[in-house]
Chains A and B, each alone.
Chain A
Amino acid sequence: GAVVSQHPSRVICKSGTSVKIECRSLDFQATTMFWYRQFPKQSLMLMATSNEGSKATYEQGVEKDKFLINHASLTLSTLTVTSAHPEDSSFYICSAQTGDFQPQHFGDGTRLSIL
């Protein structure tokens, strides 16, 4: 149980393209999902907390107009990287939690490469 599906797993696109990444909780409802980013040889850093039916909460330094997050249902959150540039190339990974005092379950991540 507690499976999180993330698509696509890999994206290669040209600079200026917008890219949408989906995160789905397959067998549970998640009122809160999280988006993390990982640069090569580094740890994971929280980008934003996504709450179903409300605006996402972004970490300091993360541009909310560039990284659009939508959490339209209890099983789906999307991250859209708008007008992506090479510096946005990174590994993006989402997680979901069934409730307080429960573990977070992670998707398999999306490797984004902007040429």
Chain B
Amino acid sequence: GIQVEQSPPDLILQEGANSTLRCNFSDSVNNLQWFHQNPWGQLINLFYIPSGTKQNGRLSATTVATERYSLLYISSSQTTDSGVYFCAVSDTGRRALTFGSGTRLQVQP
């Protein structure tokens, strides 16, 4: 099956800093989503982005499908951004998502 690798695994930032999270995948995809999992376990859908670029406030994402990677940008980070960020993909012919191992982000005041 498709492989999904996220980097870095852990990230500690000071409030106000910017960061870039990366997701590499091993095959063509028809779905790519970025999620933020909060301390209560809820998965917050950030972006549905199988290709192209999207922005939502301080967050933006870019997927280059031909090169099999996606990037999540967080600008002016806040303590509420802390949590685990997951990239998840589904390859062609399969609708279920395969999740990466996540990036654990801690934003310190």
Residues of A within 8 A of B (CB): 32, 34, 36, 38, 42-46, 49, 91, 93, 95, 97, 100-106, 108-109, 111
Contacts and interface: CB of A to CB of B under 8 A. Distances in A.
Interface size class of B (residues with CB under 8 A): 20 to 34
B100 to A, nearest CB: 7
Interface of B: 30-31, 33, 35, 40-43, 45, 48, 50, 86, 88, 95-102
Contacts, number: 52
The A interface is mostly helix, strand or loop, or mixed, namely strand
A95 to B, nearest CB: 8
B99 A43 contact: yes
A34 B33 contact: no
Nearest to B33: A103
B31 A103 contact: yes
Contact of A44 (B31, B40, B50, B86): B86
B95 A100 contact: yes
Contact of A103 (B45, B98, B99, B101): B45
Given A95-B97, A100-B30, 13 more contacts: A36-B99, A38-B41, A43-B99, A43-B102, A45-B99, A49-B96, A93-B41, A101-B50, A103-B45, A104-B31, A106-B43, A108-B40, A108-B41
A103 B48 contact: yes
B31 A101 contact: yes
B41 A109 contact: yes
B95 A49 contact: yes
A93 B101 CA distance: 16
B45 A111 contact: no
A44 B95 contact: no
Nearest to B100: A43
Contact of A109 (B30, B42, B100): B42
A97 B13 CA distance: 34
23 contacts: A32-B95, A34-B97, A43-B99, A43-B101, A43-B102, A44-B86, A44-B97, A46-B96, A46-B97, A49-B95, A91-B41, A95-B97, A100-B30, A102-B48, A103-B48, A104-B31, A105-B45, A106-B43, A108-B40, A108-B41, A108-B42, A109-B42, A109-B43
